[in-house]
């Protein structure tokens, strides 16, 4: 890796010693804005909150003398100088809702007792990193005023709701040849798996024969391993249900409760462990475990139960590789395919669900489509891919990757390496894009959860690394 200029590193350190309090003050102003997606309004495609966040950032950037441009209140850009841009930095100012369980006001920047940890919605995802990038622009302009190339800061406002902001912006604008987003983890994420979401369904005539499954509901979000699922049974024996639940619990680690109501119906509830669908092995799929319970019970033969048994063979508990669907595969760069049975609903006359599949770079989308459709079709279940996102890869020997890894090593003293992930980052659809920070390896920042946090030292170090990246890439 390239070694950075120690003298320049010292000058960057000195600049942030002077300006860190200003950075925190601007972050405080942005955290106070409830920039969750809202109802579209004229001139505000994502609602008032995201538009207000863009306007606030515009005032900050233009107040520091940077030329800004607001693209339809979807994206705000700021240019370092008037030269052609060699580097782009992309962050977002929208956030998810606060939710419950906070120890502090989620929309007020708070600090731990000794000031080492920042708390607030957006401090790590992604307002903190966005402000770090803003101040890196200010620092680079002062410390290297004669750079022959420019950096363009691109601030979006709909990352949390599908990235329509960048999609619309990209239709009318070109991105710089090298781009990074501080919206993930260090060191550098240069490889992202593809994303396929097959939807399956089947319908049949209601059968009144007992015992029968009246309903079965599981997950509702495609990209999350469902941690809860429940079913209602009619005509079953409670003790027999409890015995099967105990056996399946021992096999899966998922816990079950079964109770009998006054009208003779049995409700079975499964409780597992949630995780992101891109890492299904980190969770315990309550939906798949409950499916295993149901097909192990003596039920009256009918078309619905027959299809449920077939489904249990296609998405069995513990199969996160897609083996049962005939799509297991792997490559050296991006790793293994992962599969997560994430959404499901079953009733007396039909069922429907979704499977979240993350594919390595070697995958052929049409082959996966056909394999999934064939396996489900053989069971009399229709399956179609409703969402497809190809994989993303920026070579490890590219200038942007080598530059960022060198900077990371010099500032942290830790070895830099390229990472491959199953999730999608903010640069997934941008050629030459990588994710760079701001979460350090091993740190839990509670993104999307209560008490979202970021070490102040990590945020300031990130701003320093971004400054060095701008100066190196634009020299």
Q: For residues 272 and 229, what is the distance between their CA atoms, to the nearest angstrom? A: 9
- Which of 173, 169, 182, 98 shows the shortest CA–CA distance to 133? 182
- Which of 155, 184, 130, 168 shows the shortest CA–CA distance to 69? 155
Q: Which helix (H) or strand (E) holds 388?
A: strand 382-389
Please tell me which residue in 94, 192, 319, 452 is annotated as part of the active site.
Answer: 94
Instruction: Count Cβ atoms within 10 A of the Cβ of residue 40 and give its class: 0-12 exposed, 13-18 middle, 19 or more buried.
Output: exposed
Per DSSP, helices labelled H in 123-279 are 127-143, 164-172, 238-252
Please tell me which residue in 26, 52, 79, 159 is annotated as part of the active site.
Answer: 159
SS3 (DSSP) at 247: helix
Q: Enumerate the β-bridge partners of residue 92.
A: 156
243 is catalytic: no
332 is catalytic: no
The DSSP annotation for 23-89 comes to HHHHHHHHHTS--S----BTTBTT-HHHHHHHHHHHHHHHHTT-EEEEETTTEEEEESSSSPEEEEE
- Which of 299, 278, 324, 310 shows the shortest CA–CA distance to 382? 310
- Which of 332, 331, 357 shows the shortest CA–CA distance to 343? 357
Q: For residues 76 and 263, what is the distance between their CA atoms, to the nearest angstrom? A: 59
Q: For residues 432 and 409, what is the distance between their CA atoms, to the nearest angstrom? A: 21
Omega within 30 of 0 (cis) for the link into 59 = no
Any idea which residues carry the catalytic annotation? 94, 159
């Amino acid at each position: 890796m390239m070694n950075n200029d120690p003298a320049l590193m010292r000058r960057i350190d000195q600049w942030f010693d002077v300006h860190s309090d200003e950075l925190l003050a601007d972050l405080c102003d942005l955290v106070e804005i409830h920039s969750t997606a809202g109802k579209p309004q004229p001139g505000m495609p994502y609602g008032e909150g995201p538009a207000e966040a863009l306007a606030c950032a515009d005032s900050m950037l233009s107040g520091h003398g940077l030329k800004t441009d607001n693209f339809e209140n979807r994206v705000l850009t700021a240019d370092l100088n008037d030269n052609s841009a060699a580097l782009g930095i992309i962050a977002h100012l929208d956030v998810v809702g606060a939710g419950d369980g906070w120890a502090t006001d989620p929309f007020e920047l708070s600090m731990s007792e000794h000031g080492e940890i920042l708390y607030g919605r957006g401090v790590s995802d992604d307002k903190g990193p966005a402000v770090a990038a803003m101040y890196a622009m200010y620092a680079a302009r002062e410390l290297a005023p004669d750079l022959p190339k420019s950096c363009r800061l691109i601030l979006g406002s709909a990352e949390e709701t599908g990235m329509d902001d960048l999609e619309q912006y990209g239709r009318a604008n070109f991105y710089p040849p090298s781009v990074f987003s501080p919206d993930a983890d260090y060191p550098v994420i240069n490889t992202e798996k593809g994303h396929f979401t097959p939807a399956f369904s089947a319908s049949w005539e209601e059968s009144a024969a007992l015992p029968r499954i009246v309903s079965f509901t599981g997950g509702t979000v495609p990209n999350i391993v469902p941690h809860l699922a429940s079913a209602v049974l009619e005509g079953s024996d409670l003790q027999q249900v409890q015995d099967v639940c105990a056996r399946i619990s021992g096999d899966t680690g998922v816990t079950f409760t079964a109770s009998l109501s006054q009208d003779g119906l049995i409700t079975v509830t499964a409780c597992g462990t949630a995780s992101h669908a891109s890492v299904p092995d980190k969770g315990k799929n309550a939906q798949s475990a409950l499916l295993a319970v149901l097909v192990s019970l003596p039920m009256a033969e009918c078309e619905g139960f027959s299809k449920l048994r077939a489904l249990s063979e296609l998405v069995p508990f513990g199969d996160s590789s897609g083996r049962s669907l005939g799509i297991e595969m792997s490559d050296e760069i991006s790793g293994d395919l992962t599969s997560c049975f994430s959404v499901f609903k079953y009733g007396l006359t039909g069922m429907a669900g979704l499977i979240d599949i993350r594919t390595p770079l070697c995958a052929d989308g049409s082959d996966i489509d056909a394999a999934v459709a064939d396996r489900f079709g053989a069971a009399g279940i229709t399956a179609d891919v409703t969402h497809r996102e190809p994989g993303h890869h920026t070579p490890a020997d590219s200038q942007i990757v080598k530059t960022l890894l060198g900077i990371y090593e010099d500032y942290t003293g830790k070895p830099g390496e390229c990472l491959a992930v199953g999730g999608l980052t903010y640069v997934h659809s941008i050629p030459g894009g990588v994710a760079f920070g701001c979460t350090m390896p091993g740190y839990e920042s509670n993104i999307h959860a209560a008490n979202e946090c970021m070490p102040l030292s990590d945020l300031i170090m990130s701003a320093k690394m971004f400054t060095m990246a701008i100066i190196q890439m634009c020299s």
